[in-house]
Structure 1
């Protein structure tokens, strides 16, 4: 190796030796949020996480921060992170989810690969605690245009398996007419109807790729997050029969980063028996009108590009357009 390049390598190793690795704690969320913001700017990622949203993760019953998270620290500054989330079932395999990134100024030093190595190692004991003897896979996602991230995952044996679109619409543009289908009634989603919504969600998504049932435990956490907005959440009934629902969030991190308010449609689903009857479109129309009336500037959502229910077409009819596409990668691990 030429002397100059050897000097560069030694200097890089010296810098890496100054980095420390440890689990992420609640006291780290301010720095963690700043790190995610830097990554978003560099990668043109639209997943904004403020402090409130990150703190909510510590209450998730399917996350184990002491064993299933790691931060890379340069002194007191967090410059990289990785987290794992277990799923509610291992059917047919346990697709544990990984989420991580490295600060743009610390890239090119192998830290992204080391985070993937950490995730694959840390996932195994967490998996065995929940689903002993069942197959294990690790899933992660990258933006479709992020060549470096795509190459990193390919080099580590991950294969692309699914594509998801991020969609948005301007609420200042004309909204679809908020008409309710004949014989249906759309009302606000109050706590006494949350269990109806959970059962609808499980029915609606049981034929969706990678979806597992939401347990009462995971649903309670989902409905308790600080971003939940009851004013953007509705349920449809036909008589006493629940038919469909929509749940809206609003993230402070988005407002802080972009300067505008966005109503994020976290979930929308129709029971299988009520599909193709206009329930989902009626629910979407209602939440868009409610968000606009509350002062939101935009609405956004995510959708499986190959949704079995034709959700992409539904959202396009409601005025949503695609903004970005993410790729889900999967790798089988020894369980």
Structure 2
């Protein structure tokens, strides 16, 4: 993509920080309605871990020398970000995105999956990303919680102590987050960390089980900020995430701050979004997360991303908070095993919509089909597919723990393994409430045969049988696989009948 005549590119310097901030604010005022990005965040972007200002960032100026574009690569992800002053056509952002992707290929550091983010109102930028090969990945929420000053720390977690980390513990804290997020990001090197407000959950053995890293509060509003929150896979399902975050909430209240904020993937496999809502956080705005696989362009380089790996994203603010604090797992991005769909009969419900293909398949067979997902974006995409194919499918934003209606077939595509023990019981009870004798459940979930510690909770064949021991008959459980963005993983495919 060529820039308009008279436009030129140059590298940014710290002397450009205020001008860059003005550009971002102009964008936010149009697409967000208020200013959210702060000067310190521009500085962090230009000076963050691994950033080379002579190679990883660009500015675009028009013929009057006015700053009209800023492109920034965050190498540890990698994450690409491109701004254009409102009123500019798509050529500025398209030029910057292509330059950033070329830089990723040039670095050739074995990271073919590249991310980008956009507010849902940034239609032009979304179109630019699509033209560059980016595909929608998931929905991200920027959340905030008002503070009254009366918030109290939580009750102790048996076997653990919640405390600030010593500076020499930061590398170990980074290891916990890398295990939680299955990546190689330099968490301990994150700019603007406030060590005194960071927290760790230390086991009696001295091992760190969970980590919360806090960054400097807002220069404008005074809002505290939870930069990263993660629990090591070996220490999950013990309430550590809730304990760490509740402790941070109380600490921010004691400091007299009016709010505390964070960002999260709304479809985190650990249900972090639900946890944050329970702790009083509400959504301030939502943004789309996109990614593209540059593997085919990295000819001659051996590239590998672990299954469900997630590249890091930039800091807080318009698109910047897409980093995944609290997202210690991610949902698969592909459709799962198609054999479950071929077994569908009569009225069908699909739990965890993902790409909507199971419900669309059922409708194509002449069945009354319903697709359910917590993501409004996923629902809209599925509705568009149905309209394009001329199929009648009822797609709804909903919670699988609150199903209503009656179904003869239910397809659970990578949802069962998300639930903790208590919610698993609720889920099975909900399925029983919307089915009658003879109804069928087809269930695809992560298997305990999968090696490694990344991703969600593993499920054993015995756990499936135990969950459906009352009121159900397990007809079959077969070894299967699921296709993720980073590869194929082991799964169980179960067919279960309602008694």
TM-score of the superposed pair, with normalisation by structure 1: 0.79
Q: Is the 8 A contact 1:175 1:318 kept in 2?
A: no
Query: What SS does the aligned partner of 1:167 have?
Result: strand
User: Could you tell me how far apart the structure 2 residues matched to 1:176 and 1:46 are?
Assistant: 32
User: Could you tell me how far apart the structure 2 residues matched to 1:46 and 1:180 are?
Assistant: 40
Q: Is the 8 A contact 1:167 1:322 kept in 2?
A: yes
Query: What SS does the aligned partner of 1:277 have?
Result: coil
Give 2:212's aligned residue.
246
Query: What SS does the aligned partner of 2:58 have?
Result: strand
Say whether 1:31 aligns with 2:19: yes
Q: Is the 8 A contact 1:31 1:77 kept in 2?
A: no
Query: What SS does the aligned partner of 1:164 have?
Result: strand
Q: Tell which deviates more after alignment, 269-278 or 111-120.
A: 111-120
Structure 2: unaligned runs, 5 residues or longer: 299-499
Q: Give the drift of 1:177.
A: 5.0
From 164, 175, 184, the equivalent of 1:213 is 184
Q: Using a 3 Å threshold, how does the CA distance of structure 1 residues 293 and 177 change in structure 2: closer, same or farther?
A: closer
From 138, 159, 166, the equivalent of 2:135 is 159
Superposition CA RMSD, Å: 2.5
Q: Give the drift of 1:72.
A: 0.8
Query: What SS does the aligned partner of 2:25 have?
Result: helix
Q: Using a 3 Å threshold, how does the CA distance of structure 1 residues 46 and 200 change in structure 2: closer, same or farther?
A: farther
Structure 1: unaligned runs, 5 residues or longer: 1-12, 88-94, 207-211
Give 1:325's aligned residue.
286
Give 2:99's aligned residue.
118
Say whether 1:79 aligns with 2:68: yes
CA deviation digits over 1:6-46, x for unaligned, max 9?
A: xxxxxxx9x94333211112221121112112111111178
Q: Using a 3 Å threshold, how does the CA distance of structure 1 residues 47 and 327 change in structure 2: closer, same or farther?
A: farther
Say whether 1:309 aligns with 2:270: yes
Say whether 1:183 aligns with 2:151: no
User: Could you tell me how far apart the structure 2 residues matched to 1:330 and 1:46 are?
Assistant: 27
User: Could you tell me how far apart the structure 2 residues matched to 1:243 and 1:47 are?
Assistant: 37
Query: What SS does the aligned partner of 1:17 have?
Result: coil
Say whether 1:265 aligns with 2:226: yes
Question: Which of 1 and 2 has greater Rg?
Answer: 2
Q: Is the 8 A contact 1:176 1:318 kept in 2?
A: no
User: Could you tell me how far apart the structure 2 residues matched to 1:152 and 1:263 are?
Assistant: 33
Q: Is the 8 A contact 2:231 2:240 kept in 1?
A: yes
Give 1:91's aligned residue.
none
Q: Give the drift of 1:263.
A: 0.9
Q: Is the 8 A contact 1:205 1:269 kept in 2?
A: yes
Query: What SS does the aligned partner of 1:161 have?
Result: strand
CA deviation digits over 1:260-319, x for unaligned, max 9?
A: 211111111112222111111111111111111112111111111221212111111111
User: Could you tell me how far apart the structure 1 residues matched to 2:225 and 2:167 are?
Assistant: 20
Show the 5 A alignment for 1:20-99.
Answer: 20-44=8-32, 48-74=36-62, 75-87=64-76, 96-99=78-81
What is the aligned length? 293
More helix by share: 1
Query: What SS does the aligned partner of 1:248 have?
Result: strand
TM-score of the superposed pair, with normalisation by structure 2: 0.54
The structure showing larger relative contact order (alpha-carbon pairs under 8 Å, at least 6 residues apart) is: 1
User: Could you tell me how far apart the structure 2 residues matched to 1:56 and 1:291 are?
Assistant: 22
Give 1:90's aligned residue.
none
Give 2:482's aligned residue.
none
Give 1:9's aligned residue.
none
Q: Is the 8 A contact 1:231 1:290 kept in 2?
A: no
Q: Is the 8 A contact 1:204 1:270 kept in 2?
A: yes
Show the 5 A alignment for 1:288-307.
Answer: 288-307=249-268
Q: Give the drift of 1:243.
A: 1.6
